[in-house]
A and B are shown apart, each in its own frame.
Chain A
Amino acid sequence: MAASSELAALTPAVIAGLPPGPAWTRESLMVTFAFRCNIACTFCMVEDVLTVLPGTSLEQFREAVESQPARLAGVKRIIFSGGEVTLSKQLPAYAEYARSLPGIEHVRIQTNAIRLAKRDYLRSLIAAGIDEYFVSFHAPDAELYARIAQRDRAFAGIMAGIENIAAEGAGLTTNTAIVADNHQRLGEIVDRIAPFAPQSMEFWNYWPRADESADRQMSARVGEVRPHLIDAIERAIRAGFAPVVKWFPRCLLGPYAQFLDDSQPPALIADEYWAREPAYSCLYEGVCADAGSACSGLSHPYIYQHGWEERLLRPRRVEDRREGQNGTRVETRSLIKDGADKKSHAAVIADWLAQHGLEIGSRYAGFTLTEVRLGRGVAMLSLVFERDGLGLELRLHPRDERRPAYLRTPSYNLTYLKVEPAIEPEAQRLGEAVARIIEGKDDGRGAIPG
């Protein structure tokens, strides 16, 4: 980033020339454990699993990367997260093991930094190999922090921890959850952190995991957040570091859309965690070029709380695919015409299979591909295989680093439907065989049909 004096005037040309925030999620593997915490943030995304999920033990971590070395392909960073991982005595052992893995250049913890107020403890973590500290930081002063974290003196501990991280010369990144309580103070949050020269500051619009009906009423309206978020982004740029924004409508970020990155790293975490992952939609996702990997839209709990924001959002419209050659609109409204879709679905599936080197009736890793189905209302292709009465199902989604996947090709995420543990190696072999075939034809421009 350029020095602040050069950025005094954030003209469109200057902004366009700025690099986006660090793309750390794409080269990281997250390992989760220590599902407990010493503060109680009102928006906590793991509140329901604190003291419930056992977390990934060190042995399970070892087993996961040693039995499947492919998990570490391209991974330069191991991230430990929970819960509050500094509450675990085993954290240094996790870090030392992470450091021993091939290709690992950084070990990061996600933390509230309270324990790092003990300088000796921080030094012990640094000695164990933890060189990056991703600190949750949600308010610029003690009063607001106490309200958000529900602990009166949390702010003092966190600031002391951040001071220590900076003093030790370790990497500092902060993460601010944007909620109703703090959304007007984002600029002040930047001013509070900037003196510690962070690598980046991240602003995560409230991610309502386990808040399916918006009972917490935690979200601030995006239209009200927008001026404060833009102000925070500009302050960060002027202070010399690139911000990262997550889960905020891209169309509301104007020239700063390049700082939106909703990706998350793959994680070792119990499956039940994902069962309460929030769904996202945008009313305009069928007509907006940014829908999908470039923009998640709004969470369903947000929509239940505030609505679709249909008059605020501005889709970047894609060309209307239903225009006929002579420019006339192709009508698809009538109930009678409604019946025609089935045949066209079969045709597009057949085309897709041919393009990707797959064929119904052929055998892959001992299984016969018996059926291919389109997802209902979602971009998904389901490949159904069978062998001697044993059925397995592979699913392909558009490639999206944020989503858990067993394997990824340049264009697709590949998962397999949960099976009995005894069958799992076969499902994995089948997935790998199919992924290899697709990969041979996949130039990165592939798309799920339908």
Chain B
Amino acid sequence: MTRRAIAETLLDELVDIEDTRARTTLPIVSNEASPSKLANAELERCGADDRFHDYVLLEYQPVASPVAKLRSLNLLVESFALAGVEREGLAVMHAVRDALGPFRTVWGIKWHHARRELGWELYFYDYQREHADLSIANLGKILAPHVTVGGREPRPLPWHMFSIEFDRAQLCEGKPSAVDIYVDMRSYKSLGHEFVFENVYTFHHAYAEIDEILHRIRACTHFDPELDRLHRLVPPHLLNCRKVCVANKRSADALYFSRVTTRALQRFLVEQRWPAELAGYVEGWSDQLNHLLWDVGIDYRSDFDNTEVKPIKTGIYGSF
């Protein structure tokens, strides 16, 4: 058979789909999850006067009209509900907001990969040290009915931020929570009479300072450029952010990405194997969350017997 004859046969088989033929219409399958939630609390929605902050409490403009859409704190409340501590968690949130006022507090949800447990942290910023109500002692009093703050300043320190971390046991059983105190590029953990160095970190513009970011990652003790794939730690949907923070901790290194989109958050939650309920919540409510920007972090470590870096803790951040 000549090539032309083959072609003619082929044409008979493949072509002559005519416009007059009724077009086959495939059923449209929606990928959208039905919005649902575990939390009993009413959803909180943005008003015209809402303000939006990233995890270093810098204000940003929402990327879509926010009015009547969900506040980021709804995700925090959902995480409390998922962990079975909605009442306790809400009490903490309300106590802080009632005392300090709205839009002053950064929240973090942590996912401990090995334990498969959620934890939480609240961050209090005062760069200029101009807010009399923001002190570790005062937060201790505010939180006292709900969380026992077990840390303090050994002496007045030039901090610009401190944070209080708590988990389910600390919420329910009153176990004391440490205070992390941030001074310039370092942080220290205070619990009881212990005050120990915890963390050093640097901030870099995501793309313009890529050389510094790469240097910091490669100069860390956990990442091995011969073994580890950079894009697993720095995927493009996260690098498309405002700033990258590289941190060196006592037993891990960490990367933080500020102001990523809700779509990037969705991807992050799935890739980091967060509880399906929270990933599903963000996906299901994504239309109601797409005005927000989020911050995410990855603590990673390589072990002696397994040199490939693994995430040990990941976090997501918002503000209320």
When C-beta atoms are compared, the residue in chain B nearest to A52 turns out to be B26
Q: Given A287-B211, A300-B236, are A51 and B230 neighbors across the interface (CB < 8 Å)? A: no
Interface flags for A291-323 (1: CB within 8 Å of B; 0: not) read 000000000100110011011000000000110
B207 touches A285 (CB 8 A): yes
Instruction: Collect the chain B residues with CB atoms within 8 Å of residue A281's CB.
Output: 236, 239-240
B208 at the interface (CB under 8 A from A): yes
When C-beta atoms are compared, the residue in chain A nearest to B237 turns out to be A300
When C-beta atoms are compared, the residue in chain B nearest to A287 turns out to be B210
B30 at the interface (CB under 8 A from A): no
Chain A nearest Cβ from B203, distance in angstroms: 5
Q: Given A156-B6, A287-B208, A336-B160, are A115 and B214 neighbors across the interface (CB < 8 Å)? A: no
Chain A nearest Cβ from B67, distance in angstroms: 11
Question: Bound complex: CA of A157 vs CA of B15, how far in Å?
Answer: 11
Selecting from B32-40, B54-62, B136-144, B312-320, the interface stretch reads: B54-62
When C-beta atoms are compared, the residue in chain B nearest to A284 turns out to be B210
Question: Bound complex: CA of A38 vs CA of B18, how far in Å?
Answer: 12
Interface flags for A336-351 (1: CB within 8 Å of B; 0: not) read 1011011000000000
Question: Bound complex: CA of A332 vs CA of B243, how far in Å?
Answer: 11
A334 touches B15 (CB 8 A): no
Chain A nearest Cβ from B7, distance in angstroms: 4
Q: Given A38-B14, A160-B7, A310-B230, are A335 and B182 neighbors across the interface (CB < 8 Å)? A: yes
Q: Given A308-B230, A377-B206, A377-B241, are A39 and B14 neighbors across the interface (CB < 8 Å)? A: yes
Chain A nearest Cβ from B164, distance in angstroms: 18
Q: Given A115-B15, A286-B206, A377-B240, are A89 and B20 neighbors across the interface (CB < 8 Å)? A: yes
Q: Apart from A335-B182, A376-B259, A377-B240, what are 18 other A-B pairs with CB-CB below 8 Å?
A: A114-B15, A117-B7, A117-B8, A154-B10, A157-B14, A279-B240, A281-B239, A283-B210, A283-B214, A286-B205, A286-B206, A287-B211, A334-B202, A336-B127, A336-B184, A338-B56, A339-B58, A377-B241
Question: Bound complex: CA of A171 vs CA of B13, how far in Å?
Answer: 27
B15 touches A38 (CB 8 A): yes
A377 touches B4 (CB 8 A): no
How many interface residues does B have (CB within 8 Å)? 60
Q: Which of A83-115 contact B (CB under 8 A)?
A: 86-90, 114-115
How many interface residues does A have (CB within 8 Å)? 52
When C-beta atoms are compared, the residue in chain B nearest to A119 turns out to be B4
Question: Bound complex: CA of A300 vs CA of B293, how far in Å?
Answer: 20
B242 at the interface (CB under 8 A from A): yes
Chain B nearest Cβ from A97, distance in angstroms: 16
A436 at the interface (CB under 8 A from B): no
Partner of A333, one of B185, B208, B234: B185
Question: Bound complex: CA of A39 vs CA of B204, how far in Å?
Answer: 48
When C-beta atoms are compared, the residue in chain B nearest to A89 turns out to be B19
30 contacts between A and B (CB under 8 A): A36-B17, A52-B28, A87-B15, A87-B17, A115-B11, A117-B10, A118-B11, A156-B7, A159-B7, A160-B4, A160-B7, A283-B210, A283-B214, A283-B239, A285-B207, A286-B205, A303-B236, A304-B236, A322-B208, A332-B203, A335-B185, A339-B56, A342-B59, A376-B241, A376-B293, A377-B206, A377-B207, A377-B242, A377-B259, A378-B240
When C-beta atoms are compared, the residue in chain A nearest to B18 turns out to be A89
**Chain A interface mostly helix, strand, loop or mixed?**
loop
Question: Bound complex: CA of A89 vs CA of B127, how far in Å?
Answer: 69
B7 touches A335 (CB 8 A): no
Instruction: Collect the chain B residues with CB atoms within 8 Å of residue A71's CB.
Output: none
A192 at the interface (CB under 8 A from B): no
B101 at the interface (CB under 8 A from A): no
B24 at the interface (CB under 8 A from A): yes
A373 at the interface (CB under 8 A from B): yes
A residues adjacent to B (C-beta < 8 A): 36, 38-39, 51-52, 86-90, 114-115, 117-118, 151, 153-154, 156-157, 159-161, 279, 281, 283-287, 300, 303-304, 307-308, 310-311, 321-322, 332-336, 338-339, 341-342, 373, 376-378, 391
A151, A303, A335 — most chain B CB neighbours (10 Å):
A335
A51 touches B10 (CB 8 A): no
Instruction: Collect the chain B residues with CB atoms within 8 Å of residue A86's CB.
Output: 15
Question: Bound complex: CA of A52 vs CA of B206, how far in Å?
Answer: 38
Chain B nearest Cβ from A267, distance in angstroms: 21
Question: Bound complex: CA of A322 vs CA of B58, how far in Å?
Answer: 22
Question: Bound complex: CA of A127 vs CA of B60, how far in Å?
Answer: 58
B residues adjacent to A (C-beta < 8 A): 3-4, 6-11, 14-15, 17-20, 23-26, 28, 56, 58-61, 63, 65, 127, 160-161, 182, 184-185, 201-212, 214, 225, 229-231, 234-237, 239-243, 259, 293
Chain B nearest Cβ from A370, distance in angstroms: 12
Question: Bound complex: CA of A321 vs CA of B209, how far in Å?
Answer: 11
Instruction: Collect the chain A residues with CB atoms within 8 Å of residue B293's CB.
Output: 376
When C-beta atoms are compared, the residue in chain A nearest to B1 turns out to be A156
A160, A311, A391 — most chain B CB neighbours (10 Å):
A160
Q: Given A283-B210, A378-B240, are A159 and B3 neighbors across the interface (CB < 8 Å)? A: yes
When C-beta atoms are compared, the residue in chain A nearest to B185 turns out to be A334
The 9 closest A-B pairs by CB, nearest first: A286-B207, A160-B7, A117-B7, A286-B208, A38-B14, A156-B6, A333-B202, A157-B7, A157-B10
Chain A nearest Cβ from B272, distance in angstroms: 15
Partner of A114, one of B14, B202, B205: B14
Partner of B214, one of A38, A52, A310, A391: A310
Partner of A160, one of B3, B15, B28, B209: B3
Instruction: Collect the chain B residues with CB atoms within 8 Å of residue A341's CB.
Output: 58
B231 touches A303 (CB 8 A): yes
Instruction: Collect the chain B residues with CB atoms within 8 Å of residue A52's CB.
Output: 26, 28
A335 touches B56 (CB 8 A): yes
Instruction: Collect the chain B residues with CB atoms within 8 Å of residue A89's CB.
Output: 18-20
Question: Bound complex: CA of A156 vs CA of B201, how far in Å?
Answer: 62
B14 touches A342 (CB 8 A): no
A114 touches B10 (CB 8 A): yes
B23, B160, B208 — most chain A CB neighbours (10 Å):
B208
Instruction: Collect the chain B residues with CB atoms within 8 Å of residue A303's CB.
Output: 231, 235-236
Instruction: Collect the chain A residues with CB atoms within 8 Å of residue B207's CB.
Output: 285-287, 377
A286 touches B58 (CB 8 A): no
Instruction: Collect the chain B residues with CB atoms within 8 Å of residue A308's CB.
Output: 230-231, 234, 236
A286 touches B210 (CB 8 A): yes
